[in-house]
């Protein structure tokens, strides 16, 4: 009955995107969904009525993945979202939502059990293509070189490179974003957190059990160095917050340094 009421409301208000979103959330939360109340057909109708909604397209992609549709079917959804140009009507943010869902799917698919080298190549090419497409659209719409302050697509790419073991390439990708986002304290704290994650990987991994590897790690840019670099920028938007993070890091690293030195 609930499903029927949703469907009746959608007939009356077919362009009300929030109504479709609530219907999809309700379908996703059902323990035993009926065969004729599958979210995929509903999302197909929803995106035809509200093609400007990045949220609905993102849910369409995610639902396709959850229902284990073959790659080609999920890819068709992405192409339907981006090829018509109707999604652009909603603005750059709606476009970014779709590309974020698509790139996240590609990254998960590349590292699933049984994934092949071809899956890795497809993911990398797809993510890089999405970054380029969003930048081209942002330039076309007059959104400048930094359309997404959270640099969501670039972060997915960095996570992809990190998961594949390409640490140096991931760091280069972060470095490449400095020109665009270097005045943002959020950018530097994300860079710092990534460096901390990388540092822990080496410290606790088997490859970091020798003194040579430890010295090699210390010689590279450390999390501390990232924060110091941020504070050298005169145009940083919230230096006090970064300074507090550096102080906290230094206080914590003193104890870790003694433990690590003793370990090695």
User: pLDDT tens digit string along 211-234?
Assistant: 555 555 555 547 899 999 999 999
What is the structure's pLDDT at 15? 95
Q: How far is it, in rounded angstroms, from Cα 196 to Cα 198?
A: 5
Is 43 exposed, middle or buried (CB count within 10 Å of its CB: 0-12, 13-18, 19+)?
Answer: buried
Which helix (H) or strand (E) is 225 found in, with range? helix 223-231
DSSP label of 85: S
What is the distance between the alpha carbons of residues 6 and 250, in angstroms, rounded to a whole number?
A: 56
Please answer whether residues 136 and 95 qualify as being in contact, where contact means their C-beta atoms are separated by less than 8 angstroms.
no
Structure tokens at 4: 């029927």
User: Per-residue pLDDT tens for 92-121?
Assistant: 999 999 999 999 999 999 999 999 999 999
Q: Read off the tokens for 240.
A: 């006090």
CB atoms inside a 10 Å sphere around CB 25: 11
Task: Pull the structure tokens for residue 228.
Answer: 């110091």
DSSP state of 70: -
Q: pLDDT for 172-200, tens place per residue?
A: 999 999 999 999 999 999 999 999 998 88
pLDDT classification of 237: cutoffs 50, 70, 90 = very high
Give the model confidence (pLDDT) of 14-52 as tens digits: 999 999 999 999 998 765 555 445 799 999 999 999 999
Q: Which residues contact 251 (CB under 8 A, 6 or more apart)?
A: none
Cα dist from 153 to 102, 149, 157, 158, whole Å: 10, 11, 6, 9
Least confident segment among 39-43, 53-57, 111-115, 255-259? 255-259
Q: At what angle do helices 223-231 and 185-204 cross, to 10 degrees?
A: 160
The first and second tokens of residue 75, run together, are 């890819």
Tell me if 192 sits within 8 A of 231, measured CB to CB.
no
Taking 90 as the threshold, does the pLDDT of residue 59 lie above it? yes
Q: What is the pLDDT of residues 127-150, one digit of tens each?
A: 999 999 999 999 988 877 778 989
In the structure encoding, which two tokens stand for residue 76, read together? 């068709």
The pLDDT of residue 263: 34
Question: What 3-state DSSP class applies to 13?
Answer: coil
- Alpha-carbon Rg of the chain, whole angstroms? 22
Neighbours of 127 (CB within 10 A): 25
The DSSP annotation for 123-185 comes to HHHHHHHHHHHHHHHHHHTT--S-S-TT-HHHHHHHHHHHHTT-HHHHHHHHHHTHHHHTT-H
CA–CA separation, 126 vs 103, rounded Å? 7
């Amino acid at each position: 009955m609930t499903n029927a009421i949703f469907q009746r409301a959608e007939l009356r208000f077919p362009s009300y995107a929030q109504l479709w979103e609530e219907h999809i959330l309700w379908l996703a939360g059902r323990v035993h969904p009926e065969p004729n109340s599958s979210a995929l057909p509903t999302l197909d109708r929803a995106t035809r009525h509200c093609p400007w909604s990045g949220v609905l397209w993102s849910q369409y992609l995610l639902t396709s993945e959850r229902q284990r549709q073959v790659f080609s079917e999920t890819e068709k959804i992405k192409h339907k979202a981006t090829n018509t140009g109707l999604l652009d009507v909603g603005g750059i943010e709606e476009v970014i939502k779709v590309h974020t869902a698509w790139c996240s799917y590609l990254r998960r698919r590349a590292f699933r059990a049984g994934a092949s080298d071809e899956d890795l190549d497809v993911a990398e090419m797809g993510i890089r293509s999405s970054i380029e497409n969003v930048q081209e659209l942002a330039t076309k719409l007059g959104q400048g070189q930094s359309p997404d302050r959270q640099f969501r697509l670039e972060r997915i790419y960095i996570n992809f490179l990190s998961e594949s073991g390409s640490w140096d390439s991931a760091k280069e990708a972060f470095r490449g974003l400095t020109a665009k986002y270097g005045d943002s304290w959020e950018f530097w704290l994300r860079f710092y957190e990534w460096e901390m994650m990388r540092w822990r990987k080496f410290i606790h991994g088997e490859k970091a059990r020798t003194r040579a590897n430890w010295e090699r790690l210390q010689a590279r840019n450390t999390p501390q160095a990232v924060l110091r670099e941020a504070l050298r920028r005169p145009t940083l938007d919230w230096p006090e917050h970064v300074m507090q993070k550096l102080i906290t890091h230094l206080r914590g690293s003193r104890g870790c340094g003694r433990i690590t030195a003793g370990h090695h």
